[in-house]
Every structure is written in C-alpha cells, then in structure tokens.
Amino acid sequence: MTHLAAEVRPLEDVVAAVVPGVVSVQAGRARGTAFFIGPDRLITNAHVVGDAATVILQAGENRWRARVVTVATGSDLAVLQLDAGGRAPAVLPLGAPADVRVGQEVIAVGSALGVLSSTVTRGIVSAVRRVGTVTLIQTDAAINPGNSGGPLVDRAGRVIGVTTLKAGAQAESLGFAVAAEHASALLERPRQTATDRVTPSASDGPATGLEAVLGGTPPASADAGRDAGGAAYEEVLAAAGRQADQLDASWTRNAPGCAPDIRTPARRPWLVVLAEDAPLPVRNGCRDWIASMTAAARSIDLRLRQAAEEARRAGVYPGALRESRRRHGLDWDGWDR
C-alpha cells in the first residue's frame, strides 16, 4: 500500500502515486469519484451518493462494494467504508489549511463523464473562499461531470480539496473543491452502524452558497438535469421494451417458416433486420411480414437514438445509458455507436 511523502515531487511522479488511490463510484444512476484516505475508508461528495446506503467502486479490474458511513450535505462530503476483505491499493494523505496557497499548482483526478476513469487535469489555486461555514478552493483545473468527489492534490501529493462543482456554462475555468479540513473533521466522528447523516449547520451545501459569491448566477448543478434526463430515457426504454417483446413473439411465431436460414442474435432476434443492409432472405409469402418487422424495428431504433441524444445533452453518462438498455433487454451494440 502506497503512502505519499510531503516533499514537492515531479508532476508525473505525483500522478503515478495518486491515481491508484482514486476510484469510480456508482450509486444507482449517479456516478462520480472517490479516493482512499485509509486502508478501508474513502471520501466522496454527498451529492454523488445521495440517499444510497451502499455504492459500487471500481478502479481498473478491481471492484468493491462500500457502505455509506457518513453524509454531510452542508459540506457536500461523504465517508465510505469498504466491505470486509477490501483493501486500498493506495492511500492519499489529507493536507491542512496551511498547505493551500493561491497560485500553487494543483492536480484534479476523477472519472470524467462517469466513464473516463483516472482522468488527470492540472491548474492552479485561483482563490480560497469562505461560503457560510464551508471553505472552498477555487481552481482553473478542468472539472467535468463525473469528477465530483475526486481529490484536488498539491505537488506533494496531499489532498487539499474534494472536487465538488464548477460554475455555470457561461463561465470558464471556475471549479471548486471543498477544503480538506472539512473531510478531516468528518473522519473524527464516531463510526455508526447505520449511515450517519449530519444535519447542515448553515446552508444546504456549497452549491447553494456559491450563488452569492457568483453574483446571483447559480453554479452548474448538472445532477438534477442528469437525473431528469435519465428518468426520461427510462420511460422511452420501457415503452420500447414492451414493443420489443411483441416483436420477439412475432419472430418466434413466423421466423421458422419464413426465415429459417437467417442467423440471429440470441436475444431480440429481430434486431437482425437493423444489422443487415441487404434484404433478408425470406420465403415466398413472407415479404409483408418481414417488411412490418423492419418498419417496427426501425421505429424503435429511431426512438432510442433520439432519446439517447436527448439524455446525453442532459448530461447522462454513456455508461448509464448502456446499463439502462441492458436492464430492458435492449443492449444491442448498434446503439452504442
């Protein structure tokens, strides 16, 4: 297990030491980032875990289940604990307020867009701001959806902040991380059997308080739009799944007599009409049937492509779209293109 030293180190050495301690988080449809601060404990954002009691963590081929131990919405932080038997590949040390200086170089590590794990961006500390009871570190390091909960580290490899949000679409290079001192305070709370949900003491969280700092312009809060986009996509999939079941039944009834020589997918065999550019070899008297199957399949195809595009514009991660299709039995490779 790797522990990081406090001296300033070459950038590539810091990245090599930090990345193994950073993991992707999946809590239902929500995706984000977390990092190890102990052999079996991690820090992430409260808005990543939401109301979940457990989450799935992944780093490369490693996959763990973790319990949500503590949630503090006021500082947008949460503590996770690995299930028995899990162990951190690397532990990242938390820095202190004295470690933060405006102008110093910093590195953000996270799962950009929820699927690009171990994405590293570089910037500086642009400012240190106090919002209510929360200290926020402002940085120009690129912060993308999916980075939430990841570490913002200095050139010594110390975590000085937990990436939490970026300002709205009209702003550039305005990212914010909750200062590591809040994570340190959260770790001092006694361990509970059930999730310890800390009542906010001032605001509802950093995103709310930043509205005042940004002159009334609310920061980008992609999570609500992402959830709505995911829910809308699920509705389309549910309707498409019902129609797909009808096509399955029609194929089962008619294909043995009409298209016995066509090789089809094991699931949703009618998808072959979308996969093949040339007309399918069907027997005489079956042209109307295959034409109706093709029209229905193309209708589903068009609806799913349009719905996927709308969901992507809402910020729904590609991995979440694939998982939703899998649940509805619509996991055809053609819809990943």
pLDDT digits (tens, 9 = 90+) for 47-63: 888 888 889 898 888 88
Q: Are 46 and 24 in contact (CB under 8 A)?
A: no
* Final residue belonging to a domain, choices 218, 249, 284: 218
- Quote the CA–CA distance of 273 and 258 in Å, as a whole number: 14
- Asked about 148 being catalytic, the answer comes back as yes
In a domain, 6, yes or no: no
What is the secondary structure of 50-91 as a DSSP string?
TT-SEEEEEETTEEEEEEEEEEETTTTEEEEEEPTT---SEE
| Count of helix runs (H) and strand runs (E) in the chain | 8, 15
Pair (169, 254) in one structural domain: no
Q: Is residue 28 part of a domain?
A: yes
The pair phi, psi for residue 332, each rounded to 5°, is -85, 135
Among 117, 148, 203, 324, the active-site one is: 148
* Amino acid in position 70: T
Contact 251, 270 (CB under 8 A): yes
61 falls within a domain: yes
Q: Which helix (H) or strand (E) holds 137?
A: strand 134-139
- pLDDT for 221 equals 46
- Is residue 2, in this structure, part of any structural domain at all? no
| Domain identity same for 240 and 331 | yes
Give the integer Cα–Cα distance in Å for 43 and 37.
7
Would you state the structure tokens that stand for residue 275, as one six-digit string?
Answer: 């996969």
Q: Is 328 considered catalytic here?
A: no
Indicate the number of domains in the chain: 3
Question: Is 187 found in the same domain as 252?
Answer: no
Whether 101 contacts 137, CB under 8 Å: no
In eight-state DSSP terms, residue 59 is: E
| Strand pairing report for 62-72 and 196-198 | parallel
Residue that is last in its domain, among 189, 218, 247: 218
51 is catalytic: no
**C-alpha distances in Å from residue 229, one per residue of 29, 45, 49, 144, 313:** 11, 21, 18, 18, 8
Instruction: Mark whether 176 and 273 lie in a shared domain.
Output: no
Spell 220-233 as b/e; 16+ CB within 10 A means b: bebbeebbebbeeb
End position of a domain, from candidates 218, 247, 269: 218
**Rounded to two decimals, what is the model's pTM?**
0.61
The verdict on 65 and 128 lying in the same domain is no
Same domain as 230, residue 212: no
70 plus 130 within the same structural domain: no
Q: What is the CATH number of the domain that holds 155?
A: 2.40.10.10
Predicted local confidence at residue 160, as pLDDT: 92
Task: Evaluate whether residue 94 is within a structural domain.
Answer: no
Element (H, E) at 305: helix 287-313
In a domain, 160, yes or no: yes
Are 227 and 329 in a shared domain? yes
pLDDT in tens, 63-112: 889 999 888 888 889 999 988 777 778 899 998 888 888 888 998 988 76
| Domain carrying residue 194 | 104-218
Q: How far apart (Å, rounded) are the C-alpha atoms in residues 174 and 157?
A: 22
Distance in angstroms (rounded) separating the CA atoms of residues 18 and 108: 10
CB distance 151 to 163 below 8 Å: yes
Q: How far apart are the first and last CA of the chain?
A: 39
pLDDT at residue number 198: 60
Asked if residue 278 and residue 309 are part of one domain, the reply reads yes
User: Is residue 98 assigned to a domain?
Assistant: no
Choose the catalytic residue: 24, 75, 76, 126: 76
Residues 214 and 230 in one domain: no
**Do 281 and 190 share a structural domain?**
no
Residue 88: inside a domain, yes or no?
A: no
Residues 182, 119 share a domain? yes
In the chain, which stretches have pLDDT less than 70? 1-7, 112-117, 167-172, 190-226, 276-279, 315, 317, 336-337
